[in-house]
Amino acid sequence: MPDNDTFTLVQSFEQLTNPLVLIFSDQPILQGSVSILLTLSLASLLTWLIVKGLKAITRKTKTYLDDHLANIARAPIYYSIMMIGFSTGIELMHLSPKMTDGLLLSFQTFGVVVWMIFLIRVSKIVLKQLAWLGNKQGFIQPQTLPLFDNLSKIVIVIMAFYIGFQIWDVDMTAWLASAGVVGIAVGFAAKDTLANLFSGVFILADAPYKIGDYIVLDATGMRGKVTQIGLRSTRLVTRDDIEVTIPNSIMGNTQVINQSGGPQPKFRIRVKIGIAYGEDIDYVRKLLIRIADEEPLICANPTPRVRFRVFGTSSLDFELLGWIKDPELRGRTLDRLHTSIYHCFNKENIEIPYSKHDLYVKEFPSQK
C-alpha cells in the first residue's frame, strides 16, 4: 500500500484541483481524467517556477556545483509533479482497490527510477568536482574517477532496487542470502584478481607514483618509467625499452623508490673517484667542480659539490655530486662525467690508483 507521505501529497494536490473537477462529480472516470490532464498542463509551469527559484539561489554562490545540480533537477521535479497528479486522478476514478493499489505502486516505482537516474547524475557531477579539487593530494583523483563513479552507480542502483522491493512488499531475505553465498564463491575464485584490484585502488588513491615517474623496485632492483597505472597492473618501460607489466598486488607489497618524487623533479647523481696518496686534494676538488660546471647536463642550481669521503686502502676517495633535470638522463650524464674526469686527470698527471698484484715464484719445478 502507498505510504502516508504519498497520501498527504495526493490529498494536497486533490484539494488544489478539486474546484476544477467538481463539475464532473457524477462521472468519476472523467473526473480523474480531467485531473490528469490538468497535471500535464501545470507540471511544466510549476517545474519552471521551482527551477527558476533554485537558480536564483545558486547564482548567489561562488561555486558552479549547485548550478549544475539545479540544471539537472528539472526532470525529477517535473515527473514528481506528474506522478502526484496521476495518483490524484487514480484516486478520483474510484477503481477497484486492487487496480488502484497496483497503479499507485507502479507510479511510486516509476518515481524511484526517475530519482535513481537523478542521483546517478548528481554523483557523477560531485565526483568530477572532487577529482578536480583533489588533483594533487585528494583521495579522489582523475585516475580513480571511473572507479568511484562505477561504485556510486552500483550503490545507488542497489538502493533503488531495495526501495522498489519495499514498495511492493517483496521479502529481501532470500535475495540477501543468495548474494552472500555468491559473494563468498566469487571471492575464493578470484582472490588474486581481487587482491590486484584493491591494491590498484590504493595505489591510485595514495599516488606513491604517477605516470612518467622513474621508479626502482627495491626487491628486484628493476628501474623504469611508469607508462600506465591500471586497476590490475602497473606498466614500466625499462632503459632497454622493454615494457614490464607488474601486478598491483606486488607493487603494493614492495618498497618503491620514486626517483622523480620529492619536493622537486631534479635527481642527484654521484660520481665516485679515487686518487693516489700524495696528490693535491684541493686542486683535485677544483678540477672536479670545474668539470661539473662545464657539463651542460648538470644543473647550475643546486650547485655541484665535492665530498672527500674516506681514506681508502690504496686511494683517497672523493665523490662528485650534481643534479640533473630528469632521472632519465642519469646514464648519459655519468658517461660524460666519467669521460671528462679521465681525460682531465690524464692531462694533469693525477694518478688514479688501481689494484696491482705482484707474483713471486719461489722456485721452478725441476726438469727430469
CATH number of the structural domain spanning residue 225: 2.30.30.60
Domain presence at residue 108: yes
Q: Are residues 231 and 293 in the same domain?
A: no
Rounded distance between C-alpha atoms, residue 364 and residue 52, angstroms: 110
Q: Are residues 51 and 74 in the same domain?
A: yes
Domain presence at residue 363: no
Q: Are residues 217 and 331 in the same domain?
A: no
Q: Are residues 283 and 243 in the same domain?
A: no
Q: Are residues 131 and 271 in the same domain?
A: no
Rounded distance between C-alpha atoms, residue 331 and residue 339, angstroms: 12
CATH of the domain at 321: 3.30.70.100
What amino acid is encoded at 161 in this protein? F
pLDDT at position 1: 41
| DSSP-derived 3-state class of residue 264 | coil
Q: Are residues 24 and 141 in the same domain?
A: yes
Q: Are residues 242 and 287 in the same domain?
A: no
pLDDT at position 11: 55
Domain presence at residue 353: no
pLDDT at position 134: 60
Domain presence at residue 24: yes
pLDDT at position 17: 54
Domain presence at residue 327: yes
Of the three residues 197, 230, 258, the one that is the final residue of a domain is 258
Helices (H), ranges, the chain: 4-21, 28-58, 65-72, 74-92, 97-133, 145-167, 173-189, 191-206, 248-252, 281-294, 330-347
Domain presence at residue 190: no
- Domain range for 236 is 210-258
Rounded distance between C-alpha atoms, residue 72 and residue 125, angstroms: 10
Q: Are residues 73 and 214 in the same domain?
A: no
pLDDT at position 99: 85
pLDDT digits (tens, 9 = 90+) for 60-112: 887 777 778 888 888 888 888 888 878 877 877 777 888 888 888 888 898 89
Q: Are residues 233 and 96 in the same domain?
A: no
Rounded distance between C-alpha atoms, residue 193 and residue 303, angstroms: 48
Instruction: Report how many domains make up the chain.
Output: 3
Rounded distance between C-alpha atoms, residue 302 and residue 322, angstroms: 8
Domain presence at residue 202: no
Of the three residues 233, 258, 283, the one that is the final residue of a domain is 258
Q: Are residues 335 and 251 in the same domain?
A: no
Q: Are residues 110 and 140 in the same domain?
A: yes
Count the Cβ atoms, other than its own, within 10 Å of residue 185.
Answer: 10
Of the three residues 202, 233, 258, the one that is the final residue of a domain is 258
For the chain, residues with pLDDT lower than 50 are 1-3, 5-7, 9-10
Rounded distance between C-alpha atoms, residue 288 and residue 292, angstroms: 6
Q: Are residues 235 and 308 in the same domain?
A: no
Domain presence at residue 176: no
